[in-house]
Amino acid sequence: MSNSYLQTKTNVAIGLLGPKLDRGDGPLRWEHWRPTVSLFQHENLLWDRLELIHEGKFSKLARRVADDIQMVSPETEVVLLQLDFRDAWNFEEVFSKLDELARSMELDPEEEDYWVHISTGSHVQQICLFLLTESGRFPGGLVQTSPEKRPNSSSPGSYQLIDLDLSKYDKIADRFLQDQQEAVDFLKSGIATRNPEFNALIDQLERVAIHSKAPILLMGPTGAGKSHLARKIFELKKSRRQISGPFVEVNCATLRGESSMSAMFGHVRGAFTGAAQSRQGYLRSANGGALFLDEIGELGLDEQAMLLRAIEEKRFFPVGADKEVESDFQLIAGTNRDLKQEILTGRFREDLFTRIHLWTFHLPGLRQRPEDIEPNLDYELESYSRSSGMHVQFNKEARDIFLRLSMSPDALWTGNFRDLNAAVYRMATLSGGKRITPQLVQDEWKRLQYGWIGANQGSDSFPTTPTAKLDIQNLPDDFWESLDLFDRPQLETVLQVCMESRGLSEAGRRLYQHSRLKKKSSNDTDRLRKYLKKFGFVWKQGKGLVYQSKSSPK
Ligand SMILES: Nc1ncnc2c1ncn2[C@@H]1O[C@H](COP(=O)(O)OP(=O)(O)O)[C@@H](O)[C@H]1O
Ligand SMILES: [Mg+2]
């Protein structure tokens, strides 16, 4: 806050007369510090106007102070504003009268700078002035005056201009930045991840988690860390005192049939045969806390409709109840399905999707984050060592082999972090608490690969991601709409695999893995090339996948 800033607009001080400190009649009044007058005795502080608030019973003193200000600062216009308090120490009265006064003053922050003086009046009055300035009722900053250390000095003392926009203060801004960094580290469990997309996602998620109460949707393949992150979001919010209630986790895939309504929304006693006791239901249990609906795509349509209403109105009817109950919670939803696809097939309600899609985060799988395998590996080793009490490490060669294999195209990581977690656990256990050797790594690699062959790649490792994420050269906007629903998911998966591969032969190997093992397919690359061509796509050297024509042979 430089003084030159003070001089660009009309500069207005607003203050209360201090019946004690501002008092003084004879010539001796210049010998002691008077806060209101002192404000006008600083050579580098120029005021165009003072709005001096005072009680009627002190109007004589107010006029005296105004005259003295005219003497020391002739260019300042002093406006006397009378405001009477029955009890100047009554918070409610002082606040509402000052508030009313502020509303009645014609303040124009475009044209004028306002500084509210807070050295005079009772504590209550100063607190009220602060609150009214902080809330913008007085649209400006604070000016605080203080006397010289030596009492009875005629010096004007010092002043400080306080801007209530805290982000302007370096020290405070640093502190905010530090808080933010701590929160980001917390969400990442302290793992120094290197993947830029993932790091950007967490940075954004931190801001959303701290500043928003709206639903959060976590999408991504199984084992990508959705459940883990959901709990972290909850803990972060709790540590920042945004929520105080519990974390209620529901796997919607386990809710089946008639009982799912009452599991979610509760029921009253006697609601149906067998309902001998009432049941609270998950939504009610989460009141004041967070509700994590994992696999939300598995929720039935009736439950989806009820849920939508419950999040919009924060109230709902338990099964068999004639009175609504209230529940307010942070909703976090997780899914490895493409909900947009589910809408098309009528399995997910569009209105619910719109409501929960405000903050959607796509967690990438491990294959999309090869650079994060190493830091996660160290994290898993440390967790194992901590929980087992044995300090397990790789020997150098074994570590190199594991990392190389982990990042090779053959590493499918269909279970993502769950696979990595299990691999480390098995190798560490088999090492007998000593060093993990190259042999142990080779054996583990075989186990991992065996698991990947059996895995259902179509839905897990390559979920039908939203088409918007498939950034293919020349692809017309209406491309997907022009396709039969029948072809969409398969083509999306194929394109996704192609884009994640280094060439058509790698993509072919992955896409036709099973048939190749059964020796049913002779040339994967050729088969893939033909499939792509049917939809107008070609693989160009150096460019990757390109859309070429719509005139595809049927
Ligand atoms: N950021 C993380 N830090 C540490 N462990 C993680 C992290 N994300 C996931 N994990 C671990 O990976 C495994 C799978 O994570 P999970 O959250 O269950 O995945 P999802 O819910 O997406 O299927 C769990 O063992 C979990 O502890
Ligand atoms: Mg999960």
Residues 383 and 494 both lie in one domain = no
For residues 293 and 178, state if they share a domain.
Answer: yes
Region 533-552 average pLDDT: 82
User: Does one domain contain both 196 and 341?
Assistant: yes
231 lines ligand 1 (CB under 6 A): no
Convert the pLDDT of each residue in 225-266 to its tens digit. 999 999 999 999 999 989 999 999 999 999 977 789 999 999
Which tokens in the block code for residue 143?
A: 């000016």
d(CA 291, CA 250): 8
Same structural domain for residues 139 and 219? no
For residue 115, the domain's CATH number is 3.40.50.10770
Note the pLDDT of residue 503: 85
Residue 302 falls inside a structural domain: yes
- Is the pLDDT assigned to residue 177 strictly greater than 60? yes
Q: Are residues 192 and 146 in the same domain?
A: no
Choose the final residue of a domain: 164, 196, 227.
Answer: 164
Q: What is the CA radius of gyration of the chain?
A: 34
Cβ of 222 closer than 6 Å to ligand 1, yes or no, is yes
Task: Indicate the pairing of strand 325-326 with strand 315-316.
Answer: antiparallel
How far apart, in Å, do the first and last CA atoms of the chain sit? 71
Share of the chain above pLDDT 90, in %: 68
CB 145 within 8 A of CB 159: yes
| Average pLDDT score over residue span 289-299 | 96
Whether 35 contacts 23, CB under 8 Å: no
Which uninterrupted H or E stretch holds 123? helix 123-134
Q: How far apart are CA 223 and CA 369, in angstroms?
A: 13
pLDDT in tens, 396-431: 999 999 999 999 988 999 999 999 999 999 999 999
pLDDT value, residue 466: 41
Model-level pTM? 0.67
Q: Pseudo-torsion of CA 324, 329, 334, 338, nearest 10°?
A: 60
Q: How far is the CA of 219 from the centre of ligand 1 (A)?
A: 13
Of 494, 484, 432, the C-alpha closest to 462 is 494
Nearest-atom index, ligand 1, CA of 418? 13
Q: Spell out the residues 6+ positions from residue 313 whose beta carbon is closer than 8 angstroms to its own.
A: none
Select from 337, 362, 387 the last residue of a domain: 362
The response to whether residue 53 sits with its C-beta less than 6 Å from ligand 1 reads no
Query: Sorting pLDDT into bands at 50, 70 and 90, what band is 105?
Result: very high
The β-bridge relationship of strands 537-540 and 544-547 is antiparallel
The 3-state secondary structure of 193-239 reads: CCCHHHHHHHHHHHHHHHHCCCCEEEECCCCCCHHHHHHHHHHHHHH
Q: What is the pLDDT of residues 330-389, one digit of tens each?
A: 999 999 999 998 999 899 999 999 999 999 999 999 999 999 999 999 999 999 999 988
Of residues 495 and 522, the one with the higher pLDDT is: 495
Domain count, the chain: 4
* Ligand 1 atom nearest residue 420's Cα: 12
Instruction: Classify residue 346 as left (phi > 0), alpha (psi -120 to 50) or beta.
Output: left
pLDDT at 8 (0 to 100): 72
What is the 222 CA–ligand 1 centroid distance (Å)? 9
d(Cα 3, Cα 42) in Å, to the nearest integer? 11
Domain assignment present for 11: yes
Question: What domain range includes position 114?
Answer: 3-164
pLDDT over 60 at 205, yes or no:
yes
Residues 407 and 343 in one domain: no
> Ligand 1: which atom is nearest the Cα of residue 417?
12
Mark whether 413 and 515 lie in a shared domain.
no
Q: Which residues pair with 316 in a beta bridge?
A: 325
Which pair of tokens denotes residue 258? 């008639």
In a domain, 552, yes or no: no
To the nearest whole percent, how much of the chain has pLDDT over 70? 94
Ligand 1 atom nearest to 187, measured from its CA: 1
Task: Please identify every residue whose CB atom is under 5 Å from ligand 2, which is an ion.
Answer: 227, 294
